[in-house]
């Protein structure tokens, strides 16, 4: 609902608007009406402002009467702190204004300000009053999000409405994951996605760059594992710099002990083989110390390249645990498990120990780790370290457990629900390309598996969600087709991670706004 009001004998009604109107923004483009000529005291009266139209929608807007703000030739962007220079220059370029550095705002200006507001780092306040805009927050990230709101409001309706926006995200992790291992994506394409994600207020980009089909980032320590088509480290650094400017953290993933086929092509002696000597696709033999040494050398190398606080360890679909009797099929793993963890230990314990060992290494790089939910096993002699977050994607694995089992254990979870958030090229294995409308109308962060939400009591443990592009059939789509296919799902997911309430706009209104915003 959008607040409305009338001028009443010396006072104006004031209403807090929580949802975008879905209207065309006409009140902000109307000219003020002059009173009758006979009036001895000419004055101007403006209609009550409407909520700025953005994706994601702002969570709170206090409307007011006034002309709003629109970019004009003499307008400037100023900042109160030099740390906001990058945000200021970016916004100035987008709105065709002049960046004027630190200073006070005058009529027609936009001021970006760091303040001591008692709110989260991603929160911001955007105030439009007296012909100027002030975007403030306690940290650069929040101020940046405020600039995205201003940019979109201007693009949607030509102006930012009078009044005050107070906004912050519901979930701290809002991500997009890209499988660059099975399909090579150019650095320029990835950079375009970063710009898109920044405007939608996402804050994470996952890069799955090692799998059976390819290893796609240059390596100094092990160049033999790198695929012919790959990103250079210089290209990755440019990607990281652009992501940082949009307050997006890049989350790398070297999946192990499965999905290592490209690495094993160069190191066949480390390939897992069953009791009959048959090689197991993509799986490293975790009973061999040399296997751990190789993976750890890669983890150390790329921890130096990627500076962010998060790391994805993978751990899914280890084929030794996808057979009915792992101990009989892979006796060398069973022997190694018993030697390391005792007579009752099995192959799952050895795999969990592998995960914990890699987590210990990355903890030394001051990283927060995550792993796929099918890399966590119940019971057994060894349990996954408590600080490894669960990237929940499926309930289709052998011995699948309900999401509540992870939550009841106190684990933090990121939602990658493959029913809604998996875009799998070629749609193999009964996958269907997800639609923005289905995410917008049916999914919430509580829907971790299938279509059924977990209890609201676990909401705080669900840190957020991530849309994922997987390139199982890599040639099914070009990278431009991928960009088109994920466009509306990304916008829908961004809305649902930013605001926990049911959207106020219909899907048709949301789609029309997305088209207008570009």
In tens, the pLDDT along 288-318 reads 999 999 999 999 999 999 999 999 999 999 9
Residue 39 has pLDDT above 90, yes or no: no
Angstrom distance (rounded) from CA 286 to CA 350: 8
Angstrom distance (rounded) from CA 148 to CA 141: 11
Angstrom distance (rounded) from CA 311 to CA 149: 30
Angstrom distance (rounded) from CA 421 to CA 496: 12
Please tell me the predicted confidence (pLDDT) of residue 63.
98
Please tell me the predicted confidence (pLDDT) of residue 45.
86
- In angstroms, the Cα distances linking 206 to 367, 412, 479 are 14, 18, 17
Pairing of strands 124-129, 98-102: unpaired
Q: DSSP of 441-463, one letter per residue?
A: HH--TT--BTTBPPPGGGGGGEE
| Closest C-alpha to 124, from 110, 111, 138 | 138
Residue 280 has pLDDT above 50, yes or no: yes
Please tell me the predicted confidence (pLDDT) of residue 117.
80
Please tell me the predicted confidence (pLDDT) of residue 340.
97
| Residues near 104 by beta carbon (within 8 Å), at least 6 away in sequence | 78, 111
- Decide: 439 and 388 in contact? Cβ < 8 Å: no
Residue 14 has pLDDT above 70, yes or no: no
Q: Where are the alpha helices (DSSP H) in 49-173?
A: 85-95, 140-157
- Decide: 34 and 131 in contact? Cβ < 8 Å: no
* pLDDT, tens digit (0-9, with 9 covering 90-100), for 307-363: 999 999 999 999 999 999 999 999 999 999 999 999 999 999 999 999 999 999 999
Which residue is listed with tokens 């949802």? 19
- Please state the rounded mean pLDDT for residues 69-89: 96
Share of the chain above pLDDT 90, in %: 89
- Please state the rounded mean pLDDT for residues 363-367: 98
Least confident of 35-44, 137-146, 194-203: 35-44
Residue 18 has pLDDT above 70, yes or no: no
27 C-beta neighbours (distance < 10 Å), count: 22
Angstrom distance (rounded) from CA 66 to CA 50: 11
pLDDT level of residue 42 (50, 70, 90 thresholds): very low
Please tell me the predicted confidence (pLDDT) of residue 369.
98
| Residues near 504 by beta carbon (within 8 Å), at least 6 away in sequence | 1, 18, 19, 20, 22, 57
Tell me whether residue 307 is exposed, middle or buried, using C-beta atoms within 10 angstroms of its C-beta: 0 to 12, 13 to 18, 19 or more. exposed
Between 378 and 141, whose confidence is greater?
Answer: 141
Share of the chain above pLDDT 70, in %: 92
Q: What are phi and psi for residue 146, nearest 5 degrees?
A: -65, -35
Please tell me the predicted confidence (pLDDT) of residue 398.
77
pLDDT level of residue 31 (50, 70, 90 thresholds): very low
| Residues near 10 by beta carbon (within 8 Å), at least 6 away in sequence | none
Looking at residue 2, the DSSP 8-state letter turns out to be -
Residue 128 has pLDDT above 70, yes or no: yes
Beta strands in 115-199 (DSSP E): 124-129, 132-137, 163-167, 173-179
- Decide: 389 and 370 in contact? Cβ < 8 Å: yes
- In angstroms, the Cα distances linking 91 to 68, 149, 151, 437 are 18, 11, 8, 30
pLDDT level of residue 5 (50, 70, 90 thresholds): very low
**pTM, two decimal places:** 0.90
C-alpha 248: how far from chain center: 8
Residue 40 has pLDDT above 60, yes or no: no
Residue 489 has pLDDT above 50, yes or no: yes
What tokens does 491 get?
């916008």
- Decide: 237 and 247 in contact? Cβ < 8 Å: no
pLDDT level of residue 1 (50, 70, 90 thresholds): very low
Pairing of strands 124-129, 132-137: antiparallel
pLDDT level of residue 19 (50, 70, 90 thresholds): very low
Please tell me the predicted confidence (pLDDT) of residue 92.
98
Beta strands in 107-264 (DSSP E): 110-114, 124-129, 132-137, 163-167, 173-179, 204-210, 249-256
pLDDT level of residue 41 (50, 70, 90 thresholds): very low
| Residues near 440 by beta carbon (within 8 Å), at least 6 away in sequence | 492, 495, 496, 503, 507, 510
- Please state the rounded mean pLDDT for residues 365-373: 98
pLDDT level of residue 29 (50, 70, 90 thresholds): very low
Please tell me the predicted confidence (pLDDT) of residue 371.
98
Q: Which helix (H) or strand (E) holds 413?
A: strand 413-415
Average pLDDT for the chain: 92
Please tell me the predicted confidence (pLDDT) of residue 15.
35
Please tell me the predicted confidence (pLDDT) of residue 13.
36
- Please state the rounded mean pLDDT for residues 229-250: 98
Pairing of strands 124-129, 173-179: unpaired
Secondary structure of residue 370 in the 3-state scheme: strand
């Amino acid at each position: 609902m959008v607040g409305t009001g009338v001028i009443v004998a010396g006072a104006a009604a004031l209403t807090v608007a929580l949802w975008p109107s879905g209207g065309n923004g006409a009140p902000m483009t109307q000219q003020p009406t002059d009173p009758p000529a006979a009036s001895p005291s000419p004055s101007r009266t403006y209609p009550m402002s409407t909520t700025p139209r953005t994706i994601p929608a702002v969570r709170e807007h206090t409307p007011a009467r006034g002309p709003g703000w629109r970019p004009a030739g003499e307008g400037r962007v100023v900042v109160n702190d030099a740390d906001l220079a990058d945000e200021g220059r970016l916004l100035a370029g987008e709105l065709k204004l002049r960046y004027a550095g630190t200073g006070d705002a005058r009529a027609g200006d936009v001021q970006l300000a760091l303040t001591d507001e008692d709110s989260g780092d991603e929160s911001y306040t955007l105030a439009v009053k007296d012909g100027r805009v002030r975007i403030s927050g306690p940290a650069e990230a929040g101020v940046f999000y405020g600039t995205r709101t201003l940019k979109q409001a201007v693009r949607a309706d030509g102006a930012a409405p009078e009044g005050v926006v107070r906004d912050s995200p519901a979930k701290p992790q809002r991500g997009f994951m890209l499988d660059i291992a099975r399909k090579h994506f150019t650095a320029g394409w990835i950079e375009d996605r970063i710009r898109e994600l920044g405007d939608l207020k996402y804050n994470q980009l996952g890069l799955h760059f090692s799998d059976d089909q390819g290893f796609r980032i240059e390596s100094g320590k092990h160049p033999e594992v790198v695929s012919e088509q790959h990103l250079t480290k210089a290209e990755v650094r440019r990607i990281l710099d652009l992501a940082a400017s949009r307050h997006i953290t890049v989350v790398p993933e070297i999946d192990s002990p499965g999905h290592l086929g490209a690495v094993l092509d160069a190191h066949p002696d480390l390939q897992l083989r069953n009791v009959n000597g048959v090689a197991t696709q993509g799986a490293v033999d975790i009973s061999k110390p040399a296997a751990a040494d190789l993976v750890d050398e890669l983890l150390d190398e790329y921890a130096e390249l990627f500076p962010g606080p998060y790391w994805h360890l993978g751990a899914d679909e280890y084929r030794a645990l996808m057979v009915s009797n792992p101990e009989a099929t892979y006796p060398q793993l069973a022997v190694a498990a018993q030697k390391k963890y005792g007579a009752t230990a099995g192959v799952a314990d050895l795999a969990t120990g592998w995960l914990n060992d890699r987590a210990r290494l990355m903890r030394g790089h001051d990283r927060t780790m995550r792993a796929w939910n099918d890399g966590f096993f119940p019971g057994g002699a060894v349990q996954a370290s408590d600080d490894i977050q669960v990237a929940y994607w499926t309930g289709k694995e052998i011995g699948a457990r309900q999401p509540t089992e992870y939550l009841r254990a106190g684990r933090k979870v990121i939602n990658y629900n493959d029913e809604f958030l998996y875009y799998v090229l070629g749609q193999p294995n009964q996958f269907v390309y997800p639609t923005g409308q289905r995410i917008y109308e049916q999914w919430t962060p509580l829907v971790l598996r299938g279509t059924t939400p977990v209890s609201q009591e676990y909401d705080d443990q669900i840190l957020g969600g991530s849309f994922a592009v997987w390139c199982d059939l890599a040639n099914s789509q070009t990278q431009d087709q991928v960009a088109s296919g994920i466009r509306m799902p990304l916008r829908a997911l961004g809305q649902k991670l930013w605001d926990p309430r049911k959207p106020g706009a219909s899907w048709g209104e949301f789609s029309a706004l997305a088209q207008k915003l570009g």
